[in-house]
Structure 1
Amino acid sequence: MKIATYNVNGVNGRLPVLLRWLVEGQPDIVVLQELKAQQDNFPEAAIRDLGYDVIWHGQKSWNGGAMLSRVGEIHETRRGLPGDPDAKQSRYIEAAVNGILIAGLYLPNGNPRPGPKFDYKLAWFERLIEHAADLLASGAPVVLLGDFNVMPTERDVYKPERWLDDALFAPEVRAAFARLIDQGWTDALRTIHPGETIYTFFDYFRNAYARNAGLRIDHILLSPDLAKRLADAQVDRHVRGWEKTSDHAPVWIELADKTVGSRRKP
């Protein structure tokens, strides 16, 4: 089963890119972030025409998340994190699909730091950590994935010295991500690419994509039972080079039907 996350940076404006990638990559389950579309302005028909079931939580101008499946019906379990005081921000969507609980998220950016936006990011992160612990405690197979707006280590950012004051690389944020991982989650990309420089985001400015000056901020985390089935994890970096594309590239994993004995890049 191929499960992906993709920050589309405007689902209607990037719809040709999204549809092209869905046809090319053939992911089975996808979570999308930054729809930037109201609930009644989501391109449902175009996605269903490709054979996907779909649910979405829109928001005017900002945020927004969706989930697509071509391997069974999507049974939505939650929109928004427990205890979220700002339900208007569509940042979390969760559903059971084909025997797996899929939790898609778009963690706040948090800039400028310090300030109210950074405080909101840390508070949102704490609610995520608490809910993630409950997901693990449930015993269900879970994939927690999306745009985390966190570079966990210096290996995950081009020229880390330039990002020391940024909310995506702040010590408090990196520590929160580490606490999340320590609950028992497996970072899929790092498991398959333990020592490599691999990015998921490239700014539109300063020719970042061509220079490979990127960030790894889109992550796929697996509960322990699913981590044993991890067969592959990759970034479709070339999609970032398409015309009128998002500044993020799609990230995906492949889960085997049974436990994988060893992992290596194909």
Structure 2
Amino acid sequence: MRVATWNVNSVRARSARIVDWLVREDVDVLGMQEIKCKPEQFPREVFEEAGYELEIHGLNQWNGVAFASRLPMSEVTVGFDEMPGFGKELEDATLPLEARALGITVEDIRLWSLYVPNGRELTHPHYTYKLAWLERLRAATAAWRASNPGAPLALMGDFNIAPRDIDVWDMAVFDGATHVSAPERAAFQAFLDDGLVDITRDRGIEGYTYWDYQQLRFPKNEGMRIDFILGTPEFDELVVDASIHRDERKGEAPSDHVPVMVELDVATSLDDDVPMIF
């Protein structure tokens, strides 16, 4: 069973390219971020023609998360408990909840597609929002694990954090900037301290997952590693392979992020190569 995450940076602009990759790499489940559309605007047909069902959470032209799966999805959950909001206060004195978190269960494995707030600047309210959002996600994840002991779970997506110095091309460029600050890195480390595993890094896989469109960042390999799959030990035990698909940053109209994929030793209803026994 192949599971992947990809910040697609507008699904409407890249639907054909996304589906081509899904089919070519034989992916069963893809968590997408930054779909940048409402459910009724999502290019469903190209995914459905390729055999993928969809779960979509998008509110406007910003943010947005989704899943495309060839396997049945259940326990679909929009957002997590006490997820913080951001923006102009609503009439009920709460803040608007953004489309940044979507959970599903596939083959008894809990998966989340997550688009962590950017933070913008260290002095910006969005930075405080980012740290609060991450802490609530950590707490919600810990509570779920306590209620579902032994169940495999993965948090997948664009974390907008480069946890280590090697995860950016030049730390001097990021002096005083978001994504590498001590509080952000501590927030990321908190998930690992709770027992989650950085699936790709734990297998010695290095490399960036994001390159800005400007200043020839990709040809110069001036990138960042900010897209991750963090799994519980039970999820990690199922992993037989993991990869970062750097080549998807090449070619015509790519996203500025690339997919991160894991292969799990899980039998599914799609398996058709099991010998028949009479």
Q: Same fold (TM over 0.5)?
A: yes
Deviations 1:197-237 (A, max 9, x none): x1100111111111111100000011111212221111111
Q: Tell me by how many angstroms 1:135 deviates.
A: 2.7
Partner in structure 2 of residue 123 of structure 1: 132
Partner in structure 2 of residue 28 of structure 1: 28
- Give distance in 2, aligned partners of 1:165 and 1:111: 12
Partner in structure 2 of residue 169 of structure 1: 180
State the AA in 2 paired with 1:154.
D
Partner in structure 2 of residue 202 of structure 1: 211
Q: Equivalent residue of 1:128, what SS?
A: helix
Choose 1 or 2 for highest CA Rg: 2
Equivalent runs, 1:144-223 vs 2, <5 Å: 144-193=155-204, 196=206, 198-223=207-232
Partner in structure 1 of residue 99 of structure 2: 90
- Give distance in 2, aligned partners of 1:84 and 1:228: 29
Partner in structure 2 of residue 264 of structure 1: none
State the AA in 2 paired with 1:151.
A
- Give distance in 1, aligned partners of 2:108 and 2:155: 14
- Give distance in 2, aligned partners of 1:257 and 1:56: 25
Deviations 1:158-192 (A, max 9, x none): 11221132221111000010011111111011011
Q: Tell me by how many angstroms 1:253 deviates.
A: 0.7
State the AA in 2 paired with 1:223.
T
Partner in structure 2 of residue 73 of structure 1: 72
* Residues 16 and 46 in structure 2, CA contact (< 8 A), matched pair in contact too: no
Partner in structure 2 of residue 262 of structure 1: none
* Residues 142 and 222 in structure 1, CA contact (< 8 A), matched pair in contact too: yes
Which of 122, 128, 131 is 1:113 aligned to?
A: 122
* Residues 42 and 58 in structure 1, CA contact (< 8 A), matched pair in contact too: no
- Give distance in 1, aligned partners of 2:22 and 2:56: 17
Deviations 1:111-152 (A, max 9, x none): 122121111101101111101112322222111111100101
Partner in structure 1 of residue 237 of structure 2: 228
* Residues 238 and 265 in structure 2, CA contact (< 8 A), matched pair in contact too: yes
- Give distance in 1, aligned partners of 2:10 and 2:176: 27
- Give distance in 1, aligned partners of 2:169 and 2:154: 27
Runs of 4 or more off by more than 4 Å in structure 1?
none
**The 10-residue stretch of structure 1 (198-207 or 156-165) with the greater mean CA deviation from structure 2:** 156-165
Partner in structure 2 of residue 261 of structure 1: none
Q: Equivalent residue of 1:13, what SS?
A: helix
* Residues 83 and 97 in structure 2, CA contact (< 8 A), matched pair in contact too: no
**The 10-residue stretch of structure 1 (75-84 or 110-119) with the greater mean CA deviation from structure 2:** 75-84
Deviations 1:231-260 (A, max 9, x none): 1111111010021110000110111249xx
Deviations 1:51-92 (A, max 9, x none): 11110001211000001111x211133111211243541000
* Residues 107 and 149 in structure 1, CA contact (< 8 A), matched pair in contact too: yes
Structure 2, unaligned runs of 5 or more: 86-95, 268-278
State the AA in 2 paired with 1:2.
R
Q: Equivalent residue of 1:144, what SS?
A: strand
Partner in structure 2 of residue 132 of structure 1: 141
Structure 1, unaligned runs of 5 or more: 259-266
Instruction: Output the TM-score relative to the length of structure 1.
Output: 0.92
State the AA in 2 paired with 1:176.
A
